[in-house]
A and B are shown apart, each in its own frame.
Chain A
Amino acid sequence: MGRQRRRVDRAAGAGSGTLPEAIAALSRALPCGPSPETFRRAKFDRPEAAPALWQLLFRVLSPVSEAGATAPPAPEAQARLVKAALRSEGYPRPALAQLPEDGSRGSRELLLALSWLLARRPLLERLLARTRVRLGDEVAVCECEDLAFGRANTGLPALGLGSELHVDIRHVQWLMGKLRFQWRNLVSTQQEQCALLSKIHLYTWGCHSDQSLGHLSATETEVLRDPEGSQQLLQVLEQENAHLAATVEWRRRELVFWQWMDTVLDTCPQQAPDAGSQPVFLPKIPDHRAGQWELVAGEMQALEEELRAAAEPRRAAWEAQVRGQSRDPAWSSALRALQETVGQELAALRWAWDQGRDPAQPHGLYRLVRSEPGAPAGRGLQAAEVIGALRSKEACLEAALRQLQGQCRRELARLMGALPGFVWISSPVR
């Protein structure tokens, strides 16, 4: 320990603080963080440090719902998940994959894995953000939440289908109808909740100590209604504050930690890069994502075909038209200008999906605050704006859906029309 400190102090001239403090801050900031001693033992690959690190990595890498689970799975299952998750993340070192899953050794490798995760992104902040205490009535204005709902449920295909291997189309129709009904239910429940929240905000007007908010949220009112029950909320809040303070301290001191990690990496024995003998960990579960690849690839290919079919005749017609005309400089400059404009438009289009998200667009969770209509803007997002954006998005999506449905209608009509002896009367288009 002393040796390390001296080394670090020599190395880090302007280093902010000492290594033990940095490690202590890190261990305080992590949820179920191991003691600083564990970190030091891990550098020397001591086996007793391994279980704590496996557990920590499991906690960090498992999705939100699992992180709060009451009974963590067995150590072997934890280890397997950690390995799989790190591989998913693209962890570069193969040594991790070769560690035994009973948690008996590998602390140095696990320490490296943890530091790798810490270096790539602001891990601590994200860990805290995902379990952040929400004191207000939060509403999501982006669609990430929807995707998360969807993804969480199509992660693993329903393996227990067994007896239902062949279903009738009527079962599919029934499921669709059930889905439609559930959505309607959801909408009406949501409307009721909004009405109630609005009332709560109205009735508690003027109570909040924070003037910019003006009224209490349902969570805060609940604190007042049930003080004993809300002691837990207070505790969680204070715990979060402790973690946050530790994170702030860690940010100040982390330089020495990274210098130390360099030395840890140096103590690892050099590994001969093994070419292709990657052991396969996961059993080959049918990957739902394979279906998604197919879908997207198929769509894209079909689109390209259609574009070609649309462009080629036009090109031919144009060539024929232009053949007779004279080529003067004005003409070619006009041509070039046109090409540039079109190029810019297409670049903008590409940017629209490349960026993923329009940064100006609102994103994430917002706290609902009731305010007078004439209130000065700048306090926050106005509901009217969001409604406008949502309406246009809705129109876009409806157009897309109609287009798809129209496509199906045409195709089926064509198919059925070709059959002799039957008259096909399609349903009226809405």
Chain B
Amino acid sequence: MLPADCSRRLVAELRGALDACAERQRQLERSLRVSRRLLRAWEPAATPAAEPTLGPEAKGEHLSPGEPRPPAFPRSCPRAWPAPSREQRPGASARFLAFSACTPSSQDLKELELLTQALEKAARVRKGISKAGGDKAPVPKSGSTVTPVTTTPSHLQAPGQADGRVSETSPPRGICQTKAPTKGHPERRLLSSEDRISWGRGARATRPGPGLRDQQTAPPAAQQAPEAFTLKEKGTLLQLPMAFRKAASQNSRLWAQISSTQTSDSADATTTAKTQFLQKMQTASGPHGPGLSAAEVEAELGRLQEACSLLRLRMEEEVAAAPVDWKQELRCLFTLEGLQALAGQCLCRLQELRAAVAEQQLGPWPVGGSRSTLSPCGAGADPARGPRLLLYSSTQELQTLVALRLQVAMLTQQIHLEKVLMAELLPLVHTQGRWGPRELSLCRAVHSLLCDAGERFPTVLQDEPTG
């Protein structure tokens, strides 16, 4: 067994490391959940099974009177959301049509028939392609998935649009909506994105899309029914809502403004007023000397630690080098003596800091993390040096980058733990009195921990005296 204070320190250190790791894992898993959800088929916000009558209202319908509504599918009741029990299989398309409020026109009905046929064909093809089982079982679900999602982009894009565009929607419908308010550029973009999407994959139900796009008037209800909204197929058609975009651009503008004011005020009246105030505060409180903050002390401690490792590295280099002529020998000598002087200076600084801390009674930061306002990372110190981008070109590259980051973090932690273990365990081994089996096993354990990070063990053989 290890002595009490040694145990306490070791366990505290290791538990701290474990907690830090666990915290990272938690954060990562949160983001992972979000990403996974985004890449699946998007679920509707309000499930259709919830409220039969909720459907049209919840989906933010923008039907305005006077526009020819999409025709009610004969099998569904005109206004109400069809009850789930009734509308299992064929009802998918019907859900879209349940928005209707007035009688369908014959032209609408015809178009609807065409579309329904196209969609059913698409559904069949899709069934063949997709690995999802269940004949039509995904259909109602996916049908309902499409509605709210596709409604929402257009909903968000046309918040105040009062020109009565019917907004049952499908992504092509969404395209129509986006085109109308913002001309030119999105159009180009959408066209090019369309080129990029492989529309030719199967008999896509959106094939009527181009046809639909030309009609700016109320087309019949979109029949994306069998296809769920997946990011893979339709991601390029998304567009952030206007309110959001506005807020985001205002946000970046304001941050840029703030960073520019920060860098600009170097020696003006405000800064002098502030310095004067600080000085006055200092003198008014008596001769306590300039206060060091705990954060500054910790930063300096970190710097001295770094100094230690840099000095050591340099020393190893010099010691390992074999000088060939007197010049190199001399150089080596000067370097070593210089390093020694630096080490001495660092030690002095260390003692000074320690004395200052003791005198000022600077306690440790009261609540664990010093991740407070007052000791920020670069991100805080320079909040808005323009949007800082990290460009990567392939998944592989990104994964390599991130793996290396983690590796660096892990190595830093390992080095720290190694130092702690060395400080705690080596003295124990040194002070062993007798060497019985327990002490030997302790030695083996210490060796494995310190020299191989616990991965391998040395062997101890007892050399029995013969005879």
Contacts and interface: CB of A to CB of B under 8 A. Distances in A.
A76 interface: no
Contact of B366 (A64, A282, A357): A282
Contacts of B381: 126
Contacts of A339: 334
A32 interface: no
A218 B393 contact: no
Secondary structure of the A contact surface, majority rule: helix
Contacts of B118: none
Interface in A292-347: 292-301, 303-304, 306-308, 310-311, 314-315, 318, 321, 334-335, 338-339, 341-343, 345-346
Interface stretch (B161-169, B198-206, B398-406): B398-406
Nearest to A118: B274
A240 B178 CA distance: 28
User: Interface size class for chain A?
Assistant: 35 or more
B315 to A, nearest CB: 6
Contacts of A237: 244, 247-248, 251
Given A119-B277, A191-B402, A167 B1 contact: yes
Interface string B177-197: 000000000000100110010
B329 A318 contact: yes
B114 interface: no
Interface string A200-226: 100111111110110010101111111
B193 A206 contact: yes
B212 to A, nearest CB: 20
B50 to A, nearest CB: 14
Secondary structure of the B contact surface, majority rule: helix
B391 interface: yes
Nearest to A65: B369
Nearest to A120: B278
Given A310-B336, A412-B451, A206 B189 contact: yes
Contacts of B363: 84, 87-88, 281-282, 287
Nearest to A275: B286
Interface string B6-47: 011111111111111111110011011011111100100100
B445 A367 contact: no
Given A155-B365, A365-B379, A427-B448, A143 B389 contact: no
B332 interface: yes
A360 interface: no
Interface residues of B, number: 216
B437 to A, nearest CB: 11
A143 B366 contact: no
B261 interface: yes
B216 interface: no
B152 A342 contact: no
B354 A261 contact: no
B364 A287 contact: yes
A179 B391 contact: no
B14 A176 contact: yes
B446 A223 contact: no
Given A216-B238, A425-B461, A427-B457, A367 B389 contact: yes
Contacts of A228: 45
A244 B254 contact: yes
A301 to B, nearest CB: 7
Task: Name the 8 nearest CB pairs between A and B, nearest first.
Answer: A273-B286, A90-B291, A155-B368, A380-B389, A203-B235, A363-B378, A364-B379, A152-B369
